[in-house]
Each structure stands twice: as C-alpha cells, then as structure tokens.
Structure 1
Amino acid sequence: MRRLGAVQQKMPCVFLTEVREEPSRKRESQQFQVVATERVNPRALQSNIPCALATEKLDGTCCYVSLYKGEPYLWARLDRKPSKQADRRFKQSRKNREEFTWNVEEDFRNVPESWIPAHGVQHCNGRPVPDENGHIPGWVPVERNSKQYCWHASVVSYDTGTALVLRPGSEDGELLEVAAVPLSELLEQTLELIGTNVNANPYGMGSKKQPIHLLVSHGTLRIRNAPAVNYQQLLAWFQECEEGRVEGIVWHCNDGTLVKLHRHHLGLKWPDGDTFLNRRPVVIRVPWESYALDRGAQDLFAAFSSLNGRRFDSVQDIRF
C-alpha cells in the first residue's frame, strides 16, 4: 500500500468546477454549491488520471500517525483558523478583490504547543502560510484519555502500541476485517476515523450506548470496477452500481497527486440509502491475549477482543 505521509492538502476535483448561487447539499450554512462541469481538470490529465488507482472516499475525519515524544502516536486534524475580526477583513478583501496580507502571529487563534503544520504547508520567514481559505492545516497529538478527542483516543492503545483498523481481509475480495495493527506499521500514513459520533455516522456503526469507531488507512479500499474518467459514465456509476454507493472517489496518481470526486459535485445526495461499505462482510481479528489489561469494562479493544474470530454481515451489524 502506498504511504501518503502527512499531506492533507485540498485535493482538486477530477473535473473543473463552477460555483452556483444556491444552498449547498453538503453544508447547511453554505449558500452556494460547487458543482462539476464535464471538462476533466488539466491537473488530473497531467498526472495521467486514466492510469491512477481509484479508491473509496470515506466520510469521516482525517488522522495522521507520526512520532510524538519518541513514540508512534495518533494525531487529530486541527486547522489553525483566523480570529473573527481577521476573518471578516479577509472575506471583505476577497469580496472587493483587494490584496490581503496575513499577520500569522496576531491574526490567528492560539493552538496547543504540540500543534504542527501539515506537510505541504508553505512557509515564509519560518512561519506557515495560510491557504486560499485562510486556514493553516495541521495536527495535534491525541493524548491518552483525551476528552476533546475521546473518539480518536478510543481506537488507540498506547499501552500496547496498537490501533483498531478496518481494512480489506485476505480471505476474499469482499471481506473486511477489524484488526489490531501496530502503530509503528502506520507511521507517516493518513487515515480516516469513521464511526458512531463522526459526521452523523453514515455507515450506521454502533449506537449511543455502545459507540464504535475505527480507523481506515487512506487508499486501502480500492474500487475494483471503477468507471472511466468521463462525466456521464461516473454519474451513471454513482446512481446505478452497487459499488457506486460511496461518498466519492479518490484517485491516487503515479506521481503522488490525489484527485477526488464527491457525489455532491454531481448533484447527488449523500448518504442515499445503504452504503457499499455496509454490503461487505467483516471479521474480527483482535486477540484477547494482547488486550487483557485493566482498561475498564467499556474499553473498545476489550469489546472487540471478546468477538475475536466472529464474522458479521457488515460493520453496522457489529454488536457487543
């Protein structure tokens, strides 16, 4: 599997896009839509998109595994954003098409000392430069027993140096598995945290009483019968194919470029009925011997280890 590193820059759409003055289908507070045209983005063509690896775009929150205090740690996405006053000045300058210069020290909200900018963020005079939206993408380590990032913390065990990962199984093409994976094997990878309390839980995982969260390494859920990079063929694939019941596609180009297409770019709803992820069986591979620690009755590792070897019809059918 390709290692993605800590790059979490804004991915271009596979098609050129245009803005329409109508409420967004994706964000309730956004009074405009970004929609795809039928013209393929030249950046995608330059990266040889027809030969790229197509993977499922998951609906969760981005994470990163890297060293912290000398040990492999899970990091949560935290963009450094401007203060309200600075943001108003920035938006007004864009509206008036005026040049705007940020003062990173004064215009931006404070972040924890452990915060780091994401790879790919430009720097000027040793300071990170905000992107075109006025944000500085970055990461903060998920501390043990973190309250702010409690759902992130639930999927890592720093005692054993492992993480709960949903990944393709080795037995057949459809099977998924929940496995306890050493954090050291995930170093410098980005992953998606999905589950009960993330993005309204489109995959129906767990419940309020028994929340379930898992990590999925980016690029691991491959689309086996991906359509050609053609507007009409992609639209038909999302609407008519079982494998097309996904939030979107991310193409991994050979030159390292990532290109995406979201259902909303095509004017399609998400979620819209059952998802393709929920049509794949899943087996639990979390051995009890490794996690029989005094971590509490509600520990997610202990709960999964009690199901070790069990097979379910889908992730939404997992119950402890």
Structure 2
Amino acid sequence: MRRLGSVQQKIPCVFVTEVKEEQSRKRESQQFRVVATEQVNPVALEADIDCALATEKLDGTCCYVTLYKGQPYLWARLDRKPNKQAEKRFKKYQHTHRSAKGFTWNVEEDFRTVPETWIPAHQVKHHNGYPMPDDLGHIPGWVPVEKDNKQYCWHSSVLDYEVGVALVLRPKANDEDMLEIVAVLLADLMEQTLELIGTNVNGNPYDLVELSVVSVSVARDGLGSKKQPVHFLVSHGSVKFRTPPPLDFKQLRSWFHECPESRVEGIVWHCSDGTLLKVHRHHLGLKWPDGESCFGNRSVGIHLDGTVEDNNRRDLFASFSALNGCSFSRLQDVHFDP
C-alpha cells in the first residue's frame, strides 16, 4: 500500500450518489443536495473496498507539504474557480442537461486569477498546457503558506519554518486510543496531505455547544477560544477505526445512529491501490456537527520538550511547550492559563 494521506482530488462517495433539488444541509447557498443511494460505487468494488483501511474524516481545511524555495513548506488548499460569467453559464448548462458532461471551458478566460505561486494538485488533467477543471468546475490546487500572509494566519500558527517543524496531533504509537500533540519535522511530512483543525477553521465543528433548559444558559466546551485559539495538523489516514462499520447502506446508517465510535463527520477508506472513497453524514441525510464528537472526547498528551528555547516567545508553540508532559482526559480540556 502506498503512503496514506494523499488527498489531492475530490474524494468520490463510496455509494452511487444522486442529486435532489432541495436546500443543502451542508452549504447554505447550495440549492441542491447530493445524497447516497443504496448501490455501492463500482469504483469501490474495483478497488477491493472490503480490504481497505477505514479512517475518520476530519472536518477542517486540507493542507499539503512539499518543497518551496528549496525547503519543506506547508501549502494551503486553493481551488481555482470560474469567474461570475463563466459560473453562470456553467450552472445554466448543468440545470438544462442535469450533468456537467459536455460543457466546454475556455480555461484562459473563464477562471479567476490565482497567485503566481499557485500549483495545480496532482492528477489534474491538462489540455494544451492548461490545467482543466473537475466536474464541479474547480481546478484543485495549492499555495505556499508564508508568514506574512494574513489570509493563512491560522496555518502559520502551527509552523516554525526557522526550525522546520509543525504542530501535529496524532495517535500515540503504543496506544492508539490516546492522542498526542508533538512537533514534527516538515521534512518527515513531505508529500503528505493533512487537515488543519481548530478554533478558527470551518466554524470549529469540534466546539460542543449545550443548552441548559433550566437556566437557559449556554456552555461551550471545545477546541480553544477567541482569546486562546488552538490549532494543529492531523495527517490524513492517521485516525483509524477500531471496529470499521460494514459497507452496507442500511447497516452503515444504523452504525452512525447507534455506535459510540460514529460521532464523526464521516469515513474515508484507503484502498491498497491508492484509491480513496468516503461517506459524509450529509450523504446519509444525517446532521453534522451533532453533539459531542469522538475526536474531541479522546484523551491527549503533550510532548514538546526542547521545542521552544526563547522564553519571550508568545505563540502556539510556547503555549503548548508550557504544558509539556501534561495529559488531559479529553482533547476539549486542553486550555492555556490566562
């Protein structure tokens, strides 16, 4: 099996999907829903899905580690999207034909500009030297995360390019039920993709909100806060299921309802030939987020000994280093002193 965690393209659903013309539960601006049918995707069968590794789909933003300026760098996901006129033409075609197949793009004129440092993702098809869009009309790609770019400040918070390390959350080697926060050399993450998760990413879905009917008060218990945001990277494919659910539509839906291990955004299957397949709760008509997540409820230890040598440093590395050697019963309990 090739190295896990190469998420360069949109991952197809493990089931055959269909489009329903009703409000999306995932995106407010989307007036249609993509739902799973009970038929297993032929791609999954061809890739021997029954022998695949089932891992937790984490809810954050995708990142990639590769070279930039001769050194290992973190790159942020940036899909090149069509301009307003082209998008309007594309949507009209989709509505008329109920499909994107056959639509013709003028790649030179139809797409918004991107930074000069932008690169297309792996396996993006090219025509006449130009990267071509996928079925959604997007060209997946990456831009390097540089310290002076405010747009990627939360990406930057988990990086120290001078030392060449990143803050990574991963299962502990000798106890996969426990997580650990460590500083990992970017050189050791080369050509991997990872998920940036935390306080200011994707609305912080790992922030548990509970309403008390009696006191009408709101209690927040999640990853960090506005004053003390918490972020880290998680390698794709690193969080495995102890007991993977069966690949049967009805049984899988029941698993999401009943199993304690199912309080997750979804599942990603890593097949031995490198094929990736997924199922999201929204594919099954289920809510996300929905109460306390399994991920946020796992115990965690912090191991950053010797990472920070400057006592005047005031960043995320310093905050975690101050907790070096500490363990918490839940990831949600990791908070820094005021």
What's the TM-score bracket when you normalise by the shorter of the two chains? Answer: over 0.9
Match of 1:291 in 2: 308
Contact 2:2–2:274 (8 Å) recurs in 1: no
Match of 1:303 in 2: 319
Question: Deviations along 1:90-145, whole A, 9 cap, x unmatched?
Answer: 22223333943222221111111100000010001111011111111000000024
User: How far apart are residue 3 of structure 1 and its match?
Assistant: 2.5
Match of 2:199 in 1: 196
Match of 2:288 in 1: 270
User: How far apart are residue 16 of structure 1 and its match?
Assistant: 1.0
Equivalent pairs counted in the alignment come to 318
Counterparts of residues 55-204 of structure 1 (less than 5 Å): 55-97=55-97, 99-203=102-206, 204=222
Paired with 2:27 and 2:253, the residues of 1 have a C-alpha distance of 21
Amino acid of the structure 2 residue aligned with 1:273: G
Match of 2:253 in 1: 235
Extract unaligned runs of 5+ from structure 1: none
SS of aligned partner of 1:59: coil
User: How far apart are residue 294 of structure 1 and its match?
Assistant: 7.1
Contact 2:2–2:272 (8 Å) recurs in 1: no
Instruction: Assess, with a 3 A threshold, how the Cα gap between structure 1 residues 2 and 192 changes in structure 2: closer, same or farther.
Output: farther
Contact 2:5–2:236 (8 Å) recurs in 1: no
| 188-197 or 100-109: bigger deviation | 100-109
**% identical equivalent positions:** 66
Instruction: Assess, with a 3 A threshold, how the Cα gap between structure 1 residues 38 and 10 changes in structure 2: closer, same or farther.
Output: same
SS of aligned partner of 2:105: coil
Superposition CA RMSD, Å = 1.6
Match of 2:272 in 1: 254
Amino acid of the structure 2 residue aligned with 1:292: E
Instruction: Assess, with a 3 A threshold, how the Cα gap between structure 1 residues 6 and 51 changes in structure 2: closer, same or farther.
Output: closer
Paired with 1:172 and 1:4, the residues of 2 have a C-alpha distance of 19
Contact 2:183–2:307 (8 Å) recurs in 1: no
| 1-10 or 52-61: bigger deviation | 1-10
Instruction: Assess, with a 3 A threshold, how the Cα gap between structure 1 residues 226 and 190 changes in structure 2: closer, same or farther.
Output: same
SS of aligned partner of 1:174: strand
| 236-245 or 88-97: bigger deviation | 88-97
Paired with 2:165 and 2:329, the residues of 1 have a C-alpha distance of 25
Contact 1:251–1:260 (8 Å) recurs in 2: yes
Match of 2:328 among 297, 302, 312: 312
Paired with 1:32 and 1:232, the residues of 2 have a C-alpha distance of 23
TM-score (norm 2): 0.91
SS of aligned partner of 1:303: helix
| 218-227 or 91-100: bigger deviation | 91-100
TM-score (norm 1): 0.96
Extract unaligned runs of 5+ from structure 2: 207-221
